[in-house]
Every structure is written in C-alpha cells, then in structure tokens.
Structure 1
Amino acid sequence: METALDFAELFTHAARQGVGLAHNKGLSVLFDYTGPPVQLRVDRLQMARSLEQVFRAAIDLLDGGFVFFAAQVERVPSGRWKASVAAAASGHYASAAVWRQVFGELGLQGVDTMTDQALRAPEEAPLVGICAWTGAGLRFSFDPKEGSLLCLEQEFEAADPQAREPAPEPDAAGARAWLICEAMDTGRSMERRLQRLGWATRIFSSVEEAAAELEHMPQAHSRPALVLACESARLTLPRLRWLWALLPPATQVVLAATPGSPTLEQAGNERDIELRPYPFSPAELRQITQRVAGEPHAPSGDTQPSPLGFEHRRRALVVDDNAVNQMVATGMLQVLGFEVDTASDGLEAIDSCMRMAPDLVLMDLHMPGMDGLEATRRLRLLQREGAIPPFPIVASTADTTSQDACAQAGMDAHLPKPLDLAGLERHLRRLLPAPSF
C-alpha cells in the first residue's frame, strides 16, 4: 500500500543492510544521496525489498573490492519525481555460477541462454529487466576492465502535489567538523556530504591523533562543533568517551556503527555520545547541522594546506563513453576529495573544460566521435592559446600499447584499467601541487 515517505530515508535504511553484508565480505562501501527532501507516494514494503535486492546483487557479484550505493531524486517535466538508484561494483568477481543465480533472481532477460564466457564479456547493450517487487526498470552493465553497474529507475507522485518546494538545506556556515575514521573511503565519503551542508572538515585516523591536536591548539582557536567517528576495532565507544571529556560541552559527538554492532544496543542510554547506524541519512545530517546553523564561529587556527570547505573542493572531469567506467571512476575520485563531472566523448570534454576548467581530466582513449587523443591535443592547444588554464590530463585505458601515443598527445600519465584506488592516488599526488591535494 502506498504511503507518504521520504525516499532518502528508505534508501538509507536499505543501504545500511547492504553495508553490513558488504563489511562481512570484507568489501569497502561508498554511499551518496543527492536530491531535496521530498515526500513521495511509495509502497514502503515493496520498494524496500527492491532496494535490498539490488544492493545484495551488487555485493554477491564480488569476492573482493568495493561497492558504491548512490541515489538521486529529481523532478521530471511531468511534475512527477524520478528516483534513480545505482549500485556499482569493482574488484575481484565471484564465479559465473553465482552471477547466473544473481541475474536469475533479478529477472534479467536472456541470462538463462548465455554462456559463462558471455556473462563475463563486455555487452554491446546492457541486460535489462523489470523488478518483480515494484515494476521498476532494471539495467545491468558490465565492463571486465572497470566494473559492473546495476541501475533501478522509477517515477513517483508527490505525496502532496500542492506542497511548496522543499526548504533550503541548513548551512553550518563554516563550523568545524572533525571526522575520525581508520578507513579513508568512509571518512572521505562522509566528509563530502558534510561539506555540502557548509561544514569545514578535517579527518583524523585515530582518537589519539585528534586528542593530540586538541592538546596543541591555542586557547583562542575554536574547537570542533562536531566530532563524528566511525567505530572499528581500535576506535571504540570507551576511547571516544575519553576524547569527549577533553571537548567543550557544546561539541556534538557522534559514533557511527555498522548495523548489527552490539554498540548500537546502547543507543538511548548514552548521555554524552550519540550512537547512530552508518550510513547517516540526509535527515540525520540536516538535524546535526541545524544545531549549529546561525551560530558564530571563531577562527579555527587551522594551518593545514588543503581547503576544508565544499566550495574549495577540487574538480575532476571523467571522459568515458561507458556508464560503468564513469560511475566507478567517479566513486574513486570522490573518495580522493574531488567533485566530479562527466563527459561521454572528446567534444563534450572540450565543452565542459571551456565552461569550467577542472583541476584534473581522466581521459578514456577509444570513444565514438572525437577520441581521447584528439581531445587532449585540442585541450593542450587551447591552453597554449590561453583560452583555458593548465591542468593534468591522465589517460585511463585498457590499451596497454598506447603509452607513447598518449605522451605525444600531451597526456601527463597513463593508468591501466581496471583502475586501482591506491595507484590513482599516487599519480594524483605526483601531478597535482601539494597544497591543493
């Protein structure tokens, strides 16, 4: 039965179950949601089953690597709202037998007649199907050199068609948020979402590192308004409570735990620290931000070279005609602190760079229309003419014989597919000035 609910909350709840499953398999998880807070008419039970099936499928396809759960809700010309959910995966894949079982459960067409080799071969067209729970369209794309992408799309009516446009998001206005996470991908993922809401962020790898920073801060410098930590074997509730005792009484202290963690059973009994399951929903982040909105903030005294605010985040352009490649590369670059635009061919890339020059271009080589080599030559010409500023252009390709051609076209580096997060970070640290990276 359809009821009025916030799709973001439903998506987050389903993603939490996926996070627990992924962590049990040793997979890294990225999470993101974009769109306004809007009440939609949705069958909660059926949609929850659909989302959980999509997330579980993406996880089951992998034996190791990372998954990226993302959703976007936007108004379409008809006045309805379209929800687009994507589960991208990259890494070491499970056996073909597992794939066949997953695809069969999803009801993707043509799987029962496909050979094992065809299951792992690049598809000219994605596998498609209809979700048995909701009737939403399903699409699966796979590139063995990059990853897999499972998408679900459905349109909904607004719960109240006469409702006003959603209220503006609250603004932390530069309030300081400290994130304490051992896992870089989790910390960067949360950092990006907080920065969207106006937080000035800083990431620490341990409670001890954050405590040392507090100890050496001059009294005149502001302490964080928010400390958000992710539970791990070494980052526990008692250790965070020790740090809490060193903070001003007004500081919000939140511990995020994976669903199923025994720590969450204490939620409601803690008077000093909030316990919440990971990932946080948009409503939870808005609530945390509203507590500091409108409050004045003293100078932080931060001297680290990298900017802390969303408006100063670096921008990257991913140029690739394959949707799987675009989303996987986008997820990796977001983990590394970039906001990401995409283009599907060389001409789109040039237009994008003319509108807003990026700090980095990640360029595929073989694309319809203008390929990556020609696009690079034209971008370098525009830079020599002073039409656009200089920026690194990095080849991202499965063509291992193209290094000389890439260098001759003016590319700064050559990265083989599938992309490796650590390798990508090493190249970017070499190519980008230290103060901006």
Structure 2
Amino acid sequence: MQSFDFPEVVTAGARHILSTVLARGQAFSFDYQGPLLWLEGDAVQMQCGIHRLQCGVADLLKAGFVFLNVKVALTSSGCCDIRIGTGGSGPLAAAPTVSEVLERLHLQEIPSGAAQTDGRRSASGICPNTGASVVLTCLPNEGVLIHASLSRRCRTAVAMPPDGAGACGWLIGPDGAMAQSLVRQLQRLRWGVTRFSSCAEAAASLIGLHPTATRPAWVVVVESGEVPSESLLALDCLLPASTVRTLAVPPGSAGLQAAAQLGAFEVQMFPLSPTELYARTAAAACGAVARSGLTVPAPLFEQDRPVLLVVDDNEVNRILGSEMAGVLGYAAATADDGLEALERCSQHPPQVVLMDLDMPRLDGLETTRRIRRLQSLGELPPFSIIALTAQLEAGAIERCVDAGMDGFLAKPLSIERLDAELRRAVVPARHSCLA
C-alpha cells in the first residue's frame, strides 16, 4: 500500500488556488491543524479531490475572501479523521453557475423548505476522488461554505507538535488575511510573535533594542506586492547571524527568481507548509539554526524528481527542452501535440508543462483549457503550465492568461530564462508516494 505526505499535499493545493485568488484581488487564508502524517492511499487522487473543491469555490465567488482550513485528528484504531473546510464570503455567482458547480462536484441539491426565502442552496454528495462526504451551502449575497470529511489509515505520524516555548518571531508585512493566518499558526505553536508593517519599521526597532534584549529567532517577511530589496538588505545587515530569515512569497512572485540578491534571506513559497513550521519551531526551541534553502527541485532520489512535460511538435525543441529540464533537476517527458499531452497528463501527471502554442490536431491554448477543465472536475491534479511561443506579443499573452497558463517563455529557449520561470511559476508538490 502506498502512502504520502498529507500536509505537503494540502499545502500544494493551497498554493495552487492562491494564484487564482490573488489574480482576482481576493483575500486568502490557509490553516492546518493536527499532526504531521503520512496517509495510506493515492496522493494524486487526494490532490484532485482538494483542488476540485477549491475550483468550485473560485467559480462561485468572484470577489471577497477565500479560505482553506484542514483539521486532522488521530484515532485509537490507527486511522485519522480529516475535516476540510473551504469557502468564502462575497457576492455569489448567478444561479446557472451554481447549478453547474453542483453538478461538477457530484452534489445532489437538498430541497429547500417551504418557508425559506433567503435564497439558500444546499447540496451533498461523495467525492469521487477520495470518498469524502461533502456538504455545500451557499447564500446569494453572503458566500459559500464546503465541508468535506473522511477517514484514512495513517502510516506514520508526528502526533505532538513542537513547543516553541515563547521563541521570538517577527512577522513583517501589511496586515491582511495571509499574514494573519501565519500568525495564528505560529501562536498555536507557542511562538511570541511581533508584527511589523514594513522592513523599515522592523529595522528601526532593531536599532532601538537594548544590547541585552532578545533578538528574533526567526524573521518572516510576507510579500504583498513588491518588497524593496534595499529595505530587505538593510534589515538583513542588522540581524544577528543566528536569526533565520525567510521571504515568503506567493506563487508567481518575481522574488522566486531573485534569491541571489536577497542577502541571507531564503525564499519560500507561501503559504509555508506545516512541516516547515514544525521544523522551525523545533530548531528555535533548542537554539539550533536550520536552513532549508530555496523551494526548488532538490530530490533525494531519482524517482522523486518532479516531472516536466515538454509539448511541442518540433523534435528539436522537445529534445532541447528535455535536456534543460534534466539539468534543472526535473525528469522530462514529451508529447508532440495537445492530444498526446492530454494522454500523458492523464497517465502520469507532471508538475509542470512547457506548452507550445502552435501545434497540429490540438493547439496549446485549447489543450490548456481542456487541462484546466479536467482539473476542476477532479480528473487531474493541479500543476503549472508555461507557454512556449515564437513571440510574446500582447495579444498572445492575453490569450494565454485567458486559457489558464501560469507563465510565458519566448523561443529560442535558454536555460537561464527557463530556470528563472520555473522558480517563479511552479508550485512545489509531491506526486510521488512511498510503498
């Protein structure tokens, strides 16, 4: 029986939907409560199940606030109970869209009572990917709420979270849902968290500290918009060597490309995973410094290398793309047109696709639209798609965005630009499992 790292799968799901939420100007919150554990089962199906619920929420809400909360509890029988809550507040989509989402999620509508006049719609069903029981409730002028519950056998678990014992943590960034969700998780691990609105404010506080005052064990800068590198480097110079420095950035951030210019700050994709939070907390509690480096492919074993699918009708481009992928830490697969790409994705889901736009039988734009549709149905797990095109004209970029692509690269492809775009656009995920 295979098993997989459940918190990492959940975090990858949060990162994928965050890209959509931020593009719409919505606020986003993520929380994971419970042990770190490996579950028996299929990681891809779990990814599909979580993503299809979040796609449903994204289609139902065009503005407002979106959240993903996961709670896990171990049972005496070696299993764990999982509760997934996702939804948000804001104006609801039109009634036909609500009906389409209910059908897509395999939910049966619950008839409304005769006295109900608030427009509430409720539905329930079973997730075809995970077997979870799903209940959805939505109100036209208020929002939507989805609850999913399931039980799984647990292979291994870290049942007790580490105790930060009041370790000093600084969180820097504008007040908002993303920053507040991280504060909540750190406080639950017994960190003493101090908030600053900017790097300049934190630097001023450091300068004013008494020489014997405690310096922070961990400084997390949450990017909202663009973090000026000058202020980040100025703060870096004031921090003691023992302080762990993290720049937490959303998927797609240019900060993922500029790691070498950020001093001792390491770049991590937001939201930070429960595994990362536990590791930082354990290190702070014992006075150790643990650095994990950039969030880029760094597999321990060959079979763990993330898969990059090169889709191009030109054999030379497929070979060159595959060779570059290998150098950058990926295992390469290829397809010579959109129809073959769909087949490859269904057989062995990649972590990222390099998609040529102009191909016979099925072009890159239509292939991307079909992939995104399959992902919203829970038939494929989420992954990044980067366009390959001869010229990055304004009209081409707009069409790529509309189709659901995450990035763009012009031909001829260079390894430097490919590396930078993969760092920026690819959401780390674990499709591989342990037997």
TM-score by length of 1: 0.60
Residue 246 of structure 2 contacts residue 268 of structure 2 at CA under 8 Å; is this kept in 1?
A: yes
The corresponding residue for 1:8 is 7
Residue 267 of structure 1 contacts residue 276 of structure 1 at CA under 8 Å; is this kept in 2?
A: no
How far 1:185 sits from its partner (Å)? 2.1
Q: 1:134 aligns with which of 107, 130, 146?
A: 130
How far 1:96 sits from its partner (Å)? 2.3
How far 1:31 sits from its partner (Å)? 1.0
Q: 1:200 aligns with which of 175, 185, 192?
A: 192
Q: Is 1:46 matched up with 2:38?
A: no
Deviations along 1:234-287, one digit per CA (max 9) or x if unpaired, are 424443222111111111110111112232235589661111111111100011
- Provide the rounded CA distance (Å) in 1 between the counterparts of 2:93 and 2:120: 16
Deviations along 1:358-383, one digit per CA (max 9) or x if unpaired, are xxxxxxxxxxxxxxxxxxxxxxxxxx
Q: 1:155 to 1:220 in 2, by over 3 A?
A: same
The corresponding residue for 1:343 is none
The corresponding residue for 2:285 is 293
* Counterparts of residues 189-338 of structure 1 (less than 5 Å): 189-266=181-258, 272-295=264-287
Residue 86 of structure 1 contacts residue 152 of structure 1 at CA under 8 Å; is this kept in 2?
A: yes
Q: 1:148 to 1:18 in 2, by over 3 A?
A: same
What letter is aligned with 1:85? Answer: I
The corresponding residue for 1:19 is 18
How far 1:6 sits from its partner (Å)? 2.5
Residue 96 of structure 1 contacts residue 119 of structure 1 at CA under 8 Å; is this kept in 2?
A: no
Q: 1:122 aligns with which of 120, 126, 133?
A: 120
How far 1:174 sits from its partner (Å)? 1.4
Q: Is 1:180 matched up with 2:172?
A: yes
Deviations along 1:26-53, one digit per CA (max 9) or x if unpaired, are 1101111111112210211111011111
Deviations along 1:397-425, one digit per CA (max 9) or x if unpaired, are xxxxxxxxxxxxxxxxxxxxxxxxxxxxx
Q: 1:135 to 1:268 in 2, by over 3 A?
A: farther
* Counterparts of residues 320-399 of structure 1 (less than 5 Å): none
- Provide the rounded CA distance (Å) in 1 between the counterparts of 2:163 and 2:258: 30
The corresponding residue for 1:326 is none
Aligned residues: 285
- Provide the rounded CA distance (Å) in 1 between the counterparts of 2:149 and 2:30: 18
Q: 1:281 to 1:34 in 2, by over 3 A?
A: same
The corresponding residue for 1:428 is none
How far 1:78 sits from its partner (Å)? 4.7
Identity of aligned residues (%): 33
How far 1:58 sits from its partner (Å)? 1.2
* SS class of match (1:14): helix
- Provide the rounded CA distance (Å) in 2 between the counterparts of 1:129 and 1:241: 52
Residue 187 of structure 1 contacts residue 203 of structure 1 at CA under 8 Å; is this kept in 2?
A: no
How far 1:119 sits from its partner (Å)? 11
- Provide the rounded CA distance (Å) in 2 between the counterparts of 1:269 and 1:119: 58
The corresponding residue for 1:309 is none
Deviations along 1:291-313, one digit per CA (max 9) or x if unpaired, are 221239xxxxxxxxxxxxxxxxx
> Cα RMSD between the aligned structures?
2.6
- Provide the rounded CA distance (Å) in 1 between the counterparts of 2:201 and 2:95: 45
* Counterparts of residues 43-192 of structure 1 (less than 5 Å): 43-76=42-75, 78-110=77-109, 121-123=119-121, 126-144=122-140, 146-159=142-155, 166-192=158-184
TM-score by length of 2: 0.61
* Counterparts of residues 28-43 of structure 1 (less than 5 Å): 28-43=27-42
* SS class of match (1:275): strand
Deviations along 1:197-222, one digit per CA (max 9) or x if unpaired, are 22111111111111111122122211
What letter is aligned with 2:84? Answer: V
How far 1:233 sits from its partner (Å)? 2.6
Residue 39 of structure 2 contacts residue 152 of structure 2 at CA under 8 Å; is this kept in 1?
A: yes
How far 1:169 sits from its partner (Å)? 2.0
Residue 91 of structure 2 contacts residue 143 of structure 2 at CA under 8 Å; is this kept in 1?
A: no
Q: 1:217 to 1:67 in 2, by over 3 A?
A: same
Q: 1:17 to 1:120 in 2, by over 3 A?
A: farther
Q: 1:67 to 1:257 in 2, by over 3 A?
A: same
